Amino acid sequence: MSESAKSALLDVLNGPDMYGATLGNRDELQLAAATEVAAQRSQQIAVLRQRMADEGITRIAALSDLVPLLFSHTTYKSYPESFVRDGRWRHLGVWLSALSTSPIDVEVDGCQDVDDWLARMHAAGHRVIASSGTSGKCSFLDASPADDDIFARNLPRASAWTLGITTGQNYQAIMVGPREATGRFARAYRAGEQAFAVAGEGAWLSRDPVLVADVNRLGHLRKRVAEGVATPSEIRDAQDEATRRQATAEMEYQALAKAVARVKGGGPAYVQGGWGRIYRLVTTCRELGIEAGGFPTGSVVVGGGGLKGTPVPPDFEAQIAEFFAPAKLANSYGMAECNAPWAQCPAGRFHCPPTTVPLILDKTATKLLSSPGETVAGRYACLDLTVDGRWGGIVSGDHVVAHFGICPCGLGNAPQISSVERYIDLPEGDDKLSCAGTIESYLGGFLADVIGPESE
Amino acid sequence: MSISTDQAEANALPVRHFVRGKLIEGPGTQIPGPAGRPLAVPPLDLDFLVWPRSRPGPAFDLRVEDAIGFLVDLGHELSLERNELLQEVVELLPGVSPFSASMVKGYLELLPGYFEQATLETEVRHAIGAADRWQVYEVGDGAPFAVRACPARLLHIIAGNGPGNAAMAVVRGTLSRSVNLIKLPSNDPFTAIAILRTMSRMAPGHPICESFAAAFWQGGDATVEPVLFSSQYFDKIVAWGGQAAIRNAARYLGPGLELISFDPKTSISMIGRSAHRDDLRDEVATLAASDVSTQLGCTNSRVQFVEGSVDEVDQYCEALVAALQKPRPQVDPARNPTPEAIWQEAEVLGHMQPLYRTWGHHDGTGLVIRSQEPVDFELTARTVNVVPVDHLTAAVRWINLATQTVGIYPPERKAELRDVLAAAGVQRLVPLGSASMVDSGNLGRPHDGMWPLHRLSRWVLDEGVQQ
């Protein structure tokens, strides 16, 4: 069954009903495809090969064999920050190649900065995904053109499935985010614009590129503060820069709010962005006196992502729905490390794409809890069989409730997720006190006080 | 559904408060614990946790030699073998911390060392001299004046990453004869209670017993802290670690309420070229491994700067990982495996030879990462970062305010390094292998760049006294 297993699942993904299909042999197909993919990737990826040797795993005989082979998001930011800071691009390439399925042979002579490096990687067929963390250090995930293609194609398809619509350039699009950024979310927005916007053109929150170097600048400042060499004027400049950015963002939201007012008169609207940003847009609209409701019939709001850096009330989704009424809302569950997202069904649950092997683990990510027919709560991990440029096995920081039976919506037999929380947000006895700590704990508060919270 | 299934199965651990000789226990509110098992916290009556300013504290007039005597007697009662209250801590503490029962035992067996007469006398002599009573001074031809280290009103926010922290708070609170409210941490709400109960059983109604209360509330509780963290009740908040706790406490500071902060720190080692002699390498590695300990505390070494070539340092790393893997008391690898976030980073670095190299395993027995400069991530669970340097002074650029202890080999090198290290932020130099302070805390010596007992006191001046 080996070669056919992954392609059979890919056929379902590419078919008409990837989230609602009933697959009689889903579990067998997924295990067979996992076996096949792991065998292939272990030939290509040095870190995976070593991990399998260390764990004494020669082939995937059961899903539990995947658990010790999963990578975490820290794997993809394990490069020393100095490589980027000091422009040691060759070293950064050596680092990335240990995690990539194809060799990295990219000319880096004269490379100016990290954005230049990313552009060169991109031109050489490595569609490296750079995503910013709260720490100011980016993760770099190698991705092939195939990864980019699957990702860009499937997010609009997931929203369409949830909303019961078809893709097609029929909407007045409001894109609540920057058009040009290296994070995967920006790629998703552009894919949404292409799939739904009239003439493939929407109104954007910003068309100025968001550079990785901007994210890194704060990282450099942190380092300089830690080393005790940052001057007061340097810190004040960073503070001024943060104030400027906030003012610019405010103007951008106001401009986009005016675009929102304009779409009320035309054809159906398509609003896409992170939930936190969409909520901020709604707030700005209200401040400008734009009335809630009255949007064209057939309008939709496609949200996603976390609420990073944006304070929102608990009922933010209801408030967004009320403002954009009668628009329907679509939600999905995904992460930068995976290609196809989980799509929300009429029962409110997220359905697993056929090419994702979900693994629900204990909190420490060492034990597989999930098995067929059960409902189980734990840490979300998966093997995304479609991931092509690197290993698709990843552990998330999310605590989910997953269901491995038939969904109440009655559509197909995909596993579902009904609740997602980040472990970092769960109550865990936060006053566990220790006398141990590094200079980082001194800087976090200082820089937050001076510059404000870091955001995406 | 907000907690994972692996937590929900566990039973709640009983938390108690102990206020001026009275134990407050019973069914309470369940809250999530720090290590999976929930805590059951009995209700708290804030009125019992404060001493009115209208009256002096119960022990304000006690002589310091009597306080010392009291502590020495208490030390005798704190023998783990005979004290069932401490024996209960051995059972309870593993439910909230990374310590196994045998590790807890190891720590508790050291407690009497904090209560030895000579140590306590040294602490008093250095920090306040004879000023527990009025001392008369003359400056030049001026009129004589008297000074006294007066007791104060202290709110201790103690750390839970070692039972010694509770003992230190009790010892210093007693020596200062102050009134003391101890805010218990969720990772050890038990040891301080056991010590205070022992105290109260030994001398019921004693002014010192009347001067202590220990209570648990969740750090940042808005129904407790804005009320208690006030100059109405306390002079000084003494924060024994925890950056969130320190930042939180700092919000309440103002006239009449100051913060004494034992900032969170980590420690390092500096190892000279002579360690590479074939007859010394293993011995040096053993000393260095001893300073790594559990890596749960501030004195535990995380980064070792080693003089020599990469080849020499790699040989040293091999010896170090072998030394780490040897079993030692107070270290239980099974309780403390390397967190995934750390070893997954180390794993990738291991593929970048010769820039990086790793030795050992992530099961808690010891993992060594050799790199050209210190790694970016936090090191815990016996994960040691070894950085080769041409000369030990080259390591100074990575030393900062958060660097507490530096273990140095050979110890003779301390003399050439101590001023430059002190200027960079270091507060304690020791011979390699002596970083742990478990024998007597650090009583009788400066701590965090200060004499804590000196700062716990209120220095009151009486001018124009008669000789």
DSSP assignment of A161-173 equals HHHT---SS-BEE
What is the helix, strand, coil percentage profile of chain B, to 5? 35, 20, 45
Confidence band (pLDDT; 50, 70, 90) for A219?
Answer: confident
Is A433 in contact with B245 (Cβ distance < 8 A)? Answer: yes
Q: Name which of A275, A390, A295, A409 is nearest A44 in CA terms.
A: A390
More confident residue, B145 or A436: B145
* Confidence class for position A428, pLDDT limits 50, 70, 90: low
ipTM score here?
0.81
Low-confidence ranges of chain B (pLDDT < 70): 1-10, 437-441, 467
CA A276, CA A317: separation in Å to the nearest integer? 10
pLDDT the model gives residue A280: 94
One-letter amino acid for residue A363 of the chain: K
Give A203's contacts (C-beta < 8 A, 6+ positions apart): A173, A174, A175, A256, A259
Choose the mutation target among B344, B361, B436 for the interface with A, i.e. most A CBs under 10 Å.
Answer: B344
Nearest residue of A to residue B302 by CA position? Answer: A438
* pLDDT band with cut points at 50, 70 and 90 for residue A319: very high
In three-state secondary structure terms, A245 is helix
- Give the H or E element holding residue B420: helix B414-424
Please give the backbone phi and psi of residue B79, each rounded to the nearest 5 degrees, phi first.
Answer: -85, 120
pLDDT at A227 over 70: yes
Computed from CA positions of residues B357, B360, B361, B366, in that sequence, does the dihedral angle turn out positive or negative? Answer: negative
pLDDT at residue A422 tops 90: no
* Whether A377 and B185 lie within 8 Å, measured CB to CB: no
The more confident residue out of A444 and A237 is A237
pLDDT in the model for residue A92: 94
Q: Which residues of B touch A428 (CB under 8 A)?
A: 32, 34
Q: How confident is the model at residue A444 (pLDDT cuts 50, 70, 90)?
A: low
CB within 8 A of A114, min separation 6: which ones? Answer: A84, A130, A138, A212, A213, A216
* Mean predicted confidence (pLDDT) in A118-146: 87
Best CA proximity match to A178, nearest among A212, A153, A136, A154: A212
Spell out which residues of chain B touch residue A427, defining contact as CB-CB under 8 Å.
2, 31-32
Contact yes or no for B230/B253 (Cβ under 8 A): no
Nearest to A345 by CA among A270, A285, A409, A250: A409
Q: Which of A363, A426, A433 sits opposite B187 (nearest CB)?
A: A433
In angstroms, the CA B439 to CA B463 distance is 41
Report the DSSP beta bridge partners of residue A359.
A381
Which chain A positions have a beta carbon within 8 Å of B157's beta carbon? Answer: 433
How close is the nearest chain A Cα to the Cα of B86, in Å?
Answer: 21
User: Chain B window 3-32: which residues touch A at a Cβ cutoff of 8 Å?
Assistant: 3-7, 31-32
Q: Count Cα atoms within 13 angstroms, Cβ side, for A13.
A: 25
Out of B39, B159, B424, closest to residue A433 by CB: B159
Model pLDDT for residues A265-283, shown as the tens digit of each residue: 899 999 999 999 999 999 9
* Mean pLDDT confidence for A200-220: 85
Whether residue B32 and residue A427 make contact (CB cut-off 8 A), yes or no, is: yes
pLDDT of the residue at B139 = 83
Chain A touched by B293 (CB under 8 Å) = no
| Tokens 């302070």, located at residue | B437
The answer to whether B243 contacts chain A (CB < 8 Å) is yes
Q: How far apart are CA B181 and CA B213, in angstroms?
A: 5
Q: Residue B299: closest CA among chain A residues belongs to which residue? A: A436
pLDDT number for residue B441 = 66
Q: What is the pLDDT of residue A1?
A: 44
Q: Cβ separation of A401 and B244 shorter than 8 Å?
A: no
| Ramachandran angles phi, psi of B455, nearest 5° | -80, -20
Check CB contact under 8 Å for A98 and B348: yes
Sort out which chain A residues have CB atoms less than 8 A from B300's CB and list them.
436
Q: Is B242 in Cβ contact with A445 (below 8 Å)?
A: no
Q: What is the mean pLDDT of residues A146-155?
A: 94
Whether residue A301 contacts residue A320, with contact meaning beta carbons closer than 8 Å, is answered with: yes
On chain B, the residues whose CB falls within 8 A of the CB of A51 are 347
SS (H, E, C) A83-108: HHHCCCHHHHHHHHHCCECCCCCCCC
Nearest-5° Cα angle at A378, A375 to A383 = 90
Strands (DSSP E) found in A179-293: 203-206, 269-274
- Among chain B residues, the shortest Cα distance to A77 is held by B345
The pLDDT value recorded for residue B220 is 86
CB within 8 Å: A51 and B2:
no
Question: Mean pLDDT across the stretch A345-364?
Answer: 95
**Residue positions counted in chain A:** 456
Identify the pLDDT of residue A228. Answer: 79
Q: What is the pLDDT of chain A when averaged over all its residues?
A: 89
Minimal Cα distance from A92: which residue of B? Answer: B352
Residues of B in contact with A50 (CB under 8 A): 347, 350-351
Provide, as residue numbers in chain A, all residues whose Cβ is less than 8 Å from the Cβ of B244.
430-431
Query: Nearest CA of chain B to the CA of A84: how many Å?
Result: 13
Model pLDDT, residue B340: 83
Question: In Å, how far is A424's CA from the nearest CA of chain B?
Answer: 12
Q: Which residues of A378-413 are buried (b: 16+ CB within 10 A; e: fewer)?
A: bbbbbbbbbbbbbbbbbbbbbbbbbbbeebebebbb
Cβ of B34 within 8 Å of Cβ of A428? The answer is yes
Q: Assess B353–A contact: CB distance below 8 Å, yes or no.
A: no
